[in-house]
Structure 1
Amino acid sequence: MKLIIAGAGDMGVHLSKLLAGENFDCTLIDDDNERLADVGANCDVMTMVASPTSLRALSDAGAAESDLYIAVTPDETTNITSAAIAKALGARKTVARIDNFEYIDPTLPDVFPKMGVDSMIYPEVFAARDIINGLKMSWVRQRWDVFDGELVLLAIKMRTCSQILDTPLKDLCGPDDPYHIVAIKRGNETVIPGGWDTVEDGDLCYFMTTKEYIPYIRQIVGKEDYDDVRNVMVMGGDKAAVRVAHTIPEYMNLKIIERDEARCYRLNELINKRNVMIIHGDGRDMSLLRDENIANTQAFVALTGNAETNILACLAAKRRGVRKTVAQVENVDYISMAESLDIGTIINKKIIAAGHIYQMLLANNVSNVKFFMTANADVAEFLVAENSKVTRKPVKDLGLPKGITIGGLLRDGHGLLVSGNTQIQPGDSVMVFSHDVNLRKIEKLFT
């Protein structure tokens, strides 16, 4: 499969490393020779020094034969133009990174497919969605609604107060129980658990359940003393903060603290909501945080462009009693450090966007791909085809490859948890959690 990526910035480099590592024929285009030199030395990808909007350059790069053209330069106009040219040359699919929410506003006409841009990626929208999902449940590290909320995947940190520690999963997650533990992150290791595995203090466990049993999950993991989030502080007024402000529930109060005075004025123009306040100041200033009543704040979100600042600010907020902290960590090398410091929820826009782009490389029966960086795992929804391998035997007899588990499925519009005795049927939509297994290999089981 042939791929072309335009733009050797953070996202372009991350995608190049991800896709080249899976043996795609990948070419990276940028007009900066130094940026490309660094990439070529670190991963197996072909590089080309050229303008992404050059017709000759895209022709020479093989746009006509490409399966996917990805434009992720810092300039959205360049990305849209580049993707449109690639499509006109014959690229099968094109995707462009943008910075203007209007282009993906569902209330406005979608004109871009006619121009040759099949999909648009606005990373800050994806990041805001993950942040809001996390804020809705203060005791959860991550939440992901599967099949439009028919099933829910919850990542929860285990503490000594949990009722399910040190008990084999076969005694906890039977066919009739209202949840499954589909993965466990223990230290630097991710485990796809079997019946004899146990949950230990400090584990990050991934629970698959249905909405009505979320209160039960909260009870058995000992998180009932966590206050629901009502007051939120955000440090940094970037585009992700704007999207958070526009999508935050009305019952939450949001304060955005921004150092740049001009940006504060701009934020006041962009955000006109009664439950959102813009404050000019430094979010690292403890006296300012005390004045803004951090003692009565349930969630602190650090969204500056500096990973170290965000991590330290979250640690300071935790010392002040804030239980729910979210840090934007764009430097992938810092993610493991943030995890070891028990920061809470970690947001990385590159990895979030990569999941949406990766989905375009899979078959039409695969949707809603998400990369869980904390567990080094992928989750995806697979539509089961007639006569596919997974329909021939109950799940326990399928001989699924090590490193994957089926957490649940959607049948006739209803979410169902999957046990070893479940018989998957054609037309089911199945949620698969995989660790160190290529999704392109898994999709063969469902086609």
Structure 2
Amino acid sequence: MKVIICGAGQVGWQIARHLSGEKNDVTVVDNNPELVRRATDTLDVQGIAGFASYPDILERAGARDADMIIAATHSDEVNMVTCQVAHSVFAIPRKIARLRSQSYLDAIYSDLYRRDHMPIDVVISPEREVAEAALQRLAAPAAFDTESFLNKQAQLLGIALAADCPVLDTPLRQLTDLFSTLRAIVVGIRRKGRLFAPEPGDQLFKGDQIYVFVHNEDVDRTLDIFGKPNKKQERVVIIGGGNVGLAVAMALEARVDRIRAKVIEKNRGSAERAAELLERTIVLNGDGLDAALLAEANIDRADAVLAVTDDDKTNLLVSVRAKALGCPMAICLVNDPTMVSLMGPLDIDAYINPRATTVSSILRHIRHGRVRAVYSIGDAEAEVIEAQVLSTSPISGQLIRDIGFPEGVLVGAVMKNGKVIKPEGGTRIDEGDVVALFSMAADVPEVERLLQVSIDFF
């Protein structure tokens, strides 16, 4: 597949890394020659320096015979014009654009993206993706990472194992015997910085970070088994009233189970806008690092603080200060992946990486076959792929134990006729089933082959 990626920032670079690693023909376009050079030096991609919306630049990038264009520059308008040029001049079949401005994303204007208007096949909104990720973190506060799959009937939970975890030193095979009715499977373990797909005989140790695929009805029981009782969130303080913080607060207001939220926003204009749009949420104008303002927001009585400003350092420091003032849980937004290593030493419970959520969202739309969802784990180390099984797939009609999955691939869950079941060796995979697979990055191409993806693309 020939793909043009416009924008060589973190999102564009990660997408290029994924696609070039799977032997696709990738060209990266950016008006910053240094970013283009970084991409061509570190990845197996071609690079063009120039403005992505210019027809001559797209021509040089090979737009005449491209299968897909992904517009992920920092400018919404450049991304939109790039897709228009790609459609009108070069007839590129598939066009994906990242749009940040909420005005472009309002449902009443969705007709704008028809092929005879602004021909964008898929619109990705980082703010909406991040807001959804924040809500999922709040729903399972004991987990450091979480994502929903299979029509929101199952979740992937990231759980850090402490010394008080009751099942330490227990082989996974024995866990299955002990909790035979539990619909949960450990699909990934990070130990001493290395992520791997475990074998049935592997044990769990203090300090491990595990990824568990679990049926929604068994989330609380699963967290209990791993020593992480799930506490209901009733009071939340949100630091940052921009697009992300506002989206989270509005979603909390819309929920049936009442969660009381307060928003602290430094910019007066943004604070006034948030106050106008929110009905039951208290909005405070001031610096989230101000201990007196945090006290005014009753941070010591809050169940969680959610730091989602556009500054990583502010988010980290606010989280530390809030916990020092008595808040039991801190979730923060971190754009810079090198800062993730500070989470443990700073005692921050969970983080959201907006670039990872955006990359996962884009991958969902560019994976071949009947792929319904993709979630990127860590620094693109692994993926969870949710896909519908086609009649042409080599795995259709086979028992799981007989399928030649690579060592780095595990089946997390299977949905048959709309019902999610726990997969076992004797589970038969049939046409129309939806499977959720944990796959190490190196094994993704083989997973796609097993799903017989190329037949059903476009």
Could you state the TM-score of these two structures normalised by the residue count of structure 2? 0.90
Structure 2 SS opposite 1:312: helix
Gaps of 5+ in 1: none
Which of 130, 133, 149 pairs up with 1:130?
Answer: 133
The separation in 2 between residues aligned to 1:182 and 1:34, in whole angstroms, is 39
- 1:410 is aligned to 2:418: no
Structure 2 SS opposite 1:144: strand
1:130, distance to aligned residue in structure 2 (A)? 0.8
- 1:301 is aligned to 2:302: no
Are the aligned partners of 2:22 and 2:445 in contact in 1 as well (CA < 8 Å)?
no
2:121 maps to 118
The separation in 2 between residues aligned to 1:189 and 1:387, in whole angstroms, is 35
1:304 maps to a residue whose letter is: T
- 1:3 is aligned to 2:9: no
- 1:71 is aligned to 2:71: yes
- Structure 1 residues 167, 33: CA separation in 2 closer, same or farther (over 3 Å shift)? closer
2:145 maps to 142
1:96 maps to 97
- 1:176-187 mapped onto 2 (5 Å cutoff): 176-187=181-192
1:409 maps to a residue whose letter is: V
The separation in 2 between residues aligned to 1:6 and 1:243, in whole angstroms, is 27
Which of 167, 172, 179 pairs up with 1:169?
Answer: 172
Which of 259, 273, 294 pairs up with 2:279?
Answer: 273
- 1:382-397 mapped onto 2 (5 Å cutoff): 382-391=387-396, 393-397=398-402
The separation in 2 between residues aligned to 1:424 and 1:131, in whole angstroms, is 33
2:231 maps to 227
- 1:15-414 mapped onto 2 (5 Å cutoff): 15-88=15-88, 89-106=90-107, 109-114=110-115, 115-174=118-177, 176-224=181-229, 227-248=231-252, 249=255, 251-269=258-276, 271-274=277-280, 276-339=281-344, 341-373=346-378, 376-391=381-396, 393-414=398-419
**Deviations, residues 234-255 of structure 1 (Å, cap 9, x unaligned):** 2222321122122123611222
1:76, distance to aligned residue in structure 2 (A)? 1.1
Residue correspondences, number = 444
2:456 maps to none
**Deviations, residues 239-277 of structure 1 (Å, cap 9, x unaligned):** 2112212212361122221222232223334x2221x22
Structure 2 SS opposite 1:133: helix
- Structure 1 residues 299, 183: CA separation in 2 closer, same or farther (over 3 Å shift)? same
Are the aligned partners of 2:162 and 2:207 in contact in 1 as well (CA < 8 Å)?
yes
**Deviations, residues 343-391 of structure 1 (Å, cap 9, x unaligned):** 2222111121112222333223112111122783211112112253223
**Deviations, residues 123-152 of structure 1 (Å, cap 9, x unaligned):** 110111011011122222223221112222
User: Percent of counterpart pairs with the same letter?
Assistant: 27
- Structure 1 residues 69, 340: CA separation in 2 closer, same or farther (over 3 Å shift)? farther
- Structure 1 residues 301, 177: CA separation in 2 closer, same or farther (over 3 Å shift)? closer
2:50 maps to a residue whose letter is: A
- Comparing 413-422 and 300-309, the one that deviates more: 300-309
1:69, distance to aligned residue in structure 2 (A)? 0.5
The separation in 2 between residues aligned to 1:212 and 1:136, in whole angstroms, is 13
The separation in 2 between residues aligned to 1:412 and 1:67, in whole angstroms, is 34
Structure 2 SS opposite 1:360: helix
The separation in 2 between residues aligned to 1:176 and 1:375, in whole angstroms, is 32
- Structure 1 residues 119, 428: CA separation in 2 closer, same or farther (over 3 Å shift)? same
1:116 maps to a residue whose letter is: P
Structure 2 SS opposite 1:172: helix
- Structure 1 residues 154, 31: CA separation in 2 closer, same or farther (over 3 Å shift)? closer
Are the aligned partners of 1:150 and 1:410 in contact in 2 as well (CA < 8 Å)?
no
Structure 2 SS opposite 1:59: helix
- Structure 1 residues 53, 391: CA separation in 2 closer, same or farther (over 3 Å shift)? closer
Are the aligned partners of 2:249 and 2:278 in contact in 1 as well (CA < 8 Å)?
no
Are the aligned partners of 2:183 and 2:421 in contact in 1 as well (CA < 8 Å)?
no
Structure 1 SS opposite 2:358: helix
Could you state the TM-score of these two structures normalised by the residue count of structure 1? 0.92
- Comparing 85-94 and 153-162, the one that deviates more: 153-162
The separation in 2 between residues aligned to 1:315 and 1:26, in whole angstroms, is 41
